[in-house]
Amino acid sequence: MLSDNKDGILASEAEVKRATAAWAASLGSVAAELKVVSGTTENEFLSIGGRLQEFYQRAGGISSVATELVGEVAGPQVGTAMNELQNILDEMAQYVNHAQKETDLSAETLNEVIALLEQVSAPLAGFKKINKVLRMLGISTKIESARLGQSAAGFDTLASDVGQLSIQVHEKAAIVLARKLDLEGAIRQTLSGVLTAGAQQHDLVLGILDRTRTSLAALTEVNSRCGTAATGISSSSDEVSRNIGEVVMSMQAHDIVRQQVEHVEEALRGLQSGLNGGAPDLDEIASVCRLQIAQLKHASSEFGAAVSTIVGSLHEIARKESGLTRETGCMAGIADEAGSGFFSAMQKDLSIVTSALTESSQANRRLCEAMGSVAETVREIGTLVADIETLGEEIKLIALNAQIKSAYTGDEGAALGVLAEAIQRLSVDAIDHTGAVSNALGGIRTVTERLNHGMTEETSALDEEVQRMVDTLLALLGTLRQVNETLRDSLSRMDTEVQDLSEEIEQVTAGITVHETTTRVLGEAIRRLEEIVADAQRIQPGAGQGVNLDELASRYTMHSERSIHSSVLGGGMPAEAGPASGGGEFDDNIELF
Amino acid sequence: MAKTIMTADDSASVRQMVTFTLKQGGYDVVEAVDGKDALQKLSQCKVDMLITDLNMPNLDGIGLIKGARALPACKFIPIIMLTTESQDSKKAEGKAAGATGWIVKPFKPEQLMAVVKKVLG
C-alpha cells in the first residue's frame, strides 16, 4: 500500500519494500531476544525462591528466640523472684524499724545504767570516810586501852578488829569503785558503739532499701514492657509473614510476565511472517507494534516492580529482625548505655543488702555480749557490796562488844564508851551506804537483766530472720543470675542469627540482576518497535489506529493483556470483567464453585 | 498424618511458591510440570487435593481435570484452578470439567491457605 507521508510525498513501493524488509529483520531479532529473556530468567527467581524457605524458617527461629526471651523475663521465674523481692523489701522495712527501736531502747537502758551508777558514787565516797574514821577510832581505842591498862583488857583486840575492818572496808570499797568506773567506761563505749552502729546500719539499709525499691520498680517496668514486647514480637512476626507473602506474590510475576512476553513474541513472529509473505499493511504493522509496545511497557513495569518488591521485602525482613533484637535487648535491660546489665546491678545491690543484714546481726550479737558483760560486772560488784554489808554487821557487833566492855570498866572506861558509840554509829552509816549501793546495783541489775534477757531472745530471733532473708536473697540472686545468663545466651544467639540472616539476604539481593537484563531487553525491544511505528507512520501517516486485532486478543490469558489491548486499540475488544468477586469470604481473585 | 496436595504448573517458580506455601501450612506436596505429568503421577500416588494451572503444554488444566475425575481416587478430591486467566467463559469451562474453585494469579499465601483449609475441611 502506498500513502502520503507528512510532507505529502508519495512513498515509493521500493521504499516500502526496503522498510518492510528491515522491519521483518528487526522483528525477528526482537522476538528472538524476547524468547531468550523469557526462557532464561527463571533460574534466578528459582534461586531466590530456594532461599526464601530458609529465610522464612530462620526469621521464624529468631522470633521464637525473642518470644522465649520475653517469656523468660515476663515468666513465672522472674515473677516469683519479684514477689519474693517485694516481700523481702517489706521485711527489711520492718527489720530496719525494729532495729532502730532496739537501738533507741538499748541507748535508753544504758543511759539509765549510767545514771544508776552515779547513785553509787556517793555511798562509795561514804565508805572512804568510814574507813578513815574506823582507823582513827581503832587508834583512839588502842591509846585509851593503853592508858587504862589492865582494867581495859580486851580493848586491844577490839582495836585490832576495828583496824582490820577498816582495811577490809577500804579494800572492798576500792574494788567496788574500780569496778564501777570500769563498768561506766564499758557502758559509755558500748553506748557509743550501739548508737553509731545503729545509725550506720539504719542509713545503709535505708539507702539500699531505696535502691532496691528502684530496681524493683525498674523490674516491674521491664516486666510490664515484656507484655508489650510480646505483642511487638507477634506483630513483627506478622509483618515478616506479610513480607514473605509479598515476596511469594512477586515471585509469581515471572510467570505472568513470561506469558505476556511470550504473547508479544508470538505476535511479533506472526507480524514478521506476514511481512515476509506479501504486501504489507502498514496500518496493521503499526497497530501490532503499538500494542506490543504497550504490552512490553506493562510487562517491564510489572517485572521491575516485582523484583523491587522482592528486594525490598527481603531487606525489610532483615531490618525487622535486627529491630526485634535491639528492642528485645533493651527490653531485657541488658544493652543499657553503661554496658552493665540490669540484673548485674540488682545482684550488686542484693549483695550489699546481704552484707548489711549480716552486719546488723553481728552488731546485735556484740550488744548482747556487752550487756552480758555489764550484768556480770554488776553481779561482781553486788558480791563486794554484800561483803561490805557483812563488814557493817561486824562493825555493829564490835561496837556492841565495846559498849558492853566499857560498861564493865566503869567510869574509867567512859571514854571507851564514847568510842564504842562512835563505832556503832559508823556501823549504821556503813549499813546505810551498803544499802544505798545495793539499791543502785539492784536497779542496774534489773534494767541490764531486762535488756539482756530481751536481747538474748531478740538476737536469736533476729539471727534466724536475718539468715532466712540472706538465704532468700541468695536464692533470688541465683534465679536472677540464671535469668541473666539465659537472656545473654538468647540475645547472643539472636544477634548472630540476625547478623547471618542480614548478610545472606544482602548477598542474595545484591546478586539479583534479572530485572536489569529484562528491563534492558524489553527497553531495547520497545525502542525498536517504536522505530518501526515511527517509520510506518512516516510512510503512511495515521497508521496504527483502529485496526481490528481480535485474533491477537484470542491468545491472551490475562485480564491485564486484554485491558491493554482495549486501551491501545479502542473498543475492538469484547467487554470483559477482571477477576470476579469471591462473594465476601475470599478476595476478588478467588471463586469457589 | 499430613495431607498431600499436588501442584501442576509448567512454571517452576510458581510450583516453587505453591510448594513453599503449602509446606508452611503443614502439607506434603507433589509437583507436576504439566497436565500429562500430573495425570501420570495421580495414577501412581494418592493425593488429597489438586491445584492446577490452566495453560500448560502437553495437557492443559481442563484436560487434566477431566482426566483426574476419571480416576476413582480423584473423583471427589477438591481441584482448584490456579491461573492468570480470569475470563468467565474459562471458569465455566473449568467448573464443567469438575473444578472445585478458581484462583487468579498472583495469589497471596494466606489466600491459598484459606482456600485449601476450606476445601479440605
Query: In chain B, what residues touch A49 (CB-CB under 8 Å)?
Result: 13, 16-17, 20
In angstroms, the CA A249 to CA B20 distance is: 12
B92 touches A at CB < 8 Å: no
| SS3 assignment, position A497 | helix
pLDDT at A7 over 60: no
Angle at A225 between CA A221 and CA A231, to 5 degrees: 165
Residue of B nearest to A251 (CA): B13
- Which of the residue ranges A98-107, A314-323, B74-83 would you say has the lowest mean pLDDT? A98-107
A258 touches B at CB < 8 Å: yes
Among A49, A245, A255, the residue with its CB nearest the CB of B105 is A255
Whether residue A591 and residue B102 make contact (CB cut-off 8 A), yes or no, is: yes
Nearest to A287 by CA among A525, A537, A524: A537
Q: What predicted TM-score, i.e. pTM, was given to this entire model?
A: 0.66
B83 touches A at CB < 8 Å: yes
Please give the pLDDT value at position B104. 94
Determine the number of helices (DSSP H) and then strands (DSSP E) in chain A: 11, 1
Dump pLDDT digits (tens) for A460-505: 676 777 778 777 777 777 777 777 777 777 777 777 888 888 888 8
Q: Which ipTM score applies to this complex?
A: 0.92
Query: In chain B, what residues touch A263 (CB-CB under 8 Å)?
Result: none
Estimate to the nearest angstrom the gap between the alpha carbon of B40 and the chain centroid: 14
Query: In chain A, what residues touch B115 (CB-CB under 8 Å)?
Result: 586, 590, 592
Please give the pLDDT value at position A345. 66
Average pLDDT over residues A31-57: 86
Q: Pick A13 or A330 by higher pLDDT.
A: A13
Selected for mutation to probe chain A from B16, B53, B85, B100 (highest A CB count within 10 Å) is B16
Whether residue A586 and residue B111 make contact (CB cut-off 8 A), yes or no, is: yes
Query: In chain A, what residues touch B98 (CB-CB under 8 Å)?
Result: none
Q: Are A413 and A151 in contact (CB under 8 A)?
A: yes
Distance from CA of B25 to the nearest CA of A (A): 12
Looking at every residue in chain A, the average pLDDT score rounds to 78
pLDDT band at A268; cut points 50, 70, 90: very high
B:19-48 residues touching chain A, CB 8 A cutoff = 20-21, 23-24
Query: In chain B, what residues touch A50 (CB-CB under 8 Å)?
Result: 16
Residue-range domains of chain A with CATH: 94-225+342-482 (1.10.287)
pLDDT band at B113; cut points 50, 70, 90: very high
Average pLDDT over residues A28-44: 88
Q: Where are the domains of chain B?
A: 4-120
Q: Are B50 and B74 in contact (CB under 8 A)?
A: yes
Please state whether B58 falls in left (phi above 0), alpha (psi between -120 and 50) or beta: left
Distance from CA of B104 to the nearest CA of A (A): 5
Percent of chain A with pLDDT over 70: 82
Query: In chain B, what residues touch A249 (CB-CB under 8 Å)?
Result: 106-108
Query: In chain A, what residues touch B21 (CB-CB under 8 Å)?
Result: 248
Size of interface A-B (CB pairs under 8 A): 109
pLDDT at A425 over 90: no
Residue of A nearest to B13 (CA): A46
DSSP class of A581: P
Q: Are A529 and A30 in contact (CB under 8 A)?
A: yes
CATH of B4-120, one of 3.40.50.2300, 1.10.1060.10, 3.10.450.50, 3.40.50.740: 3.40.50.2300
Q: Pick A98 or A246 by higher pLDDT.
A: A246
Could you please report the per-residue DSSP string of A246-287?
A: HHHHHHTHHHHHHHHHHHHHHHHHHHHHHHHHS---HHHHHH
pLDDT band at A233; cut points 50, 70, 90: low
A79 touches B at CB < 8 Å: no
Q: Helix A13-40 and helix A282-332: axis angle, to 10°?
A: 30
Among B84, B88, B109, the residue with its CB nearest the CB of A577 is B88
**Cα–Cα distances in angstroms (integers) from residue B48 to residues A335, B101, B120, in the given order:** 51, 15, 8
pLDDT at A582 over 70: no
Residue of A nearest to B20 (CA): A53
